[in-house]
Structure formats: C-alpha cells, structure tokens
Amino acid sequence: MSSLEQPANIKLCVLLEKSPSETLEKLKKAYGNDAMKNTAVYEWHKRFREGRTNIEEVTRTGRPSSSIADENAERVREIVHNGQTH
C-alpha cells in the first residue's frame, strides 16, 4: 500500500459527501489494523472539505521535532548532573 492511498480514498469520500465518521468506518473496513488513526482521518477529511486537492503531505520547514526532543533530553541530563534546580 502506498502512503498516498488512504488520503486519496479520504478525498474520494469527501467528494462523495461521506461524513468523517463514515470515511473512518470505510477505511477501517478496507485496511483493518493498517487504517490511519482517527485524528489523521478527520484532519485529512477537513483539509479536503476546505478545498485542498493535493493528496501528498506538506513538507514542513524547520528542525524535526525529534531534534528538539533530543536537545531537551540533553538539557535535563545536564541539570540532573549539575544538581541545578532552575
């Protein structure tokens, strides 16, 4: 299954005027445990309902969230190691 298959199917459901819950139900029936999570389905449904036509995920700018998490973890280690409270 391609990563664009489910967004394409969500787009089709929007064009067929299916509700977000109907769309989610159809994806779960078609893909089982591989279906997108509820929040992702509702978000894609909303995007298409608001006029989005592109089924590809938008590339985000900036650092990946994992790099920020790594920096935070390192800062916590420094604080614990140095015994700082502030």
pLDDT of 82: 81
Alpha carbon distance 54, 68 (integer Å): 29
Residue 81 burial (10 A CB sphere; 0-12, 13-18, 19+): exposed
Class (C level, CATH) for 4-50 = mainly alpha
Instruction: From first to last of the 86 residues of the chain, give the pLDDT tens digit.
Output: 678 999 999 999 999 999 999 999 999 999 999 999 999 999 999 999 999 988 887 655 555 555 566 777 777 777 787 875 55
pLDDT of 16: 96
Q: Exposure pattern of 7-18 as b/e (b: 16+ CB <10 Å)?
A: bebbbebbeeeb
pLDDT of 72: 72
pLDDT of 50: 93
What residue spans define the domains of the chain? Answer: 4-50
Distance, CA of 51 to chain centre:
18
pLDDT of 43: 95
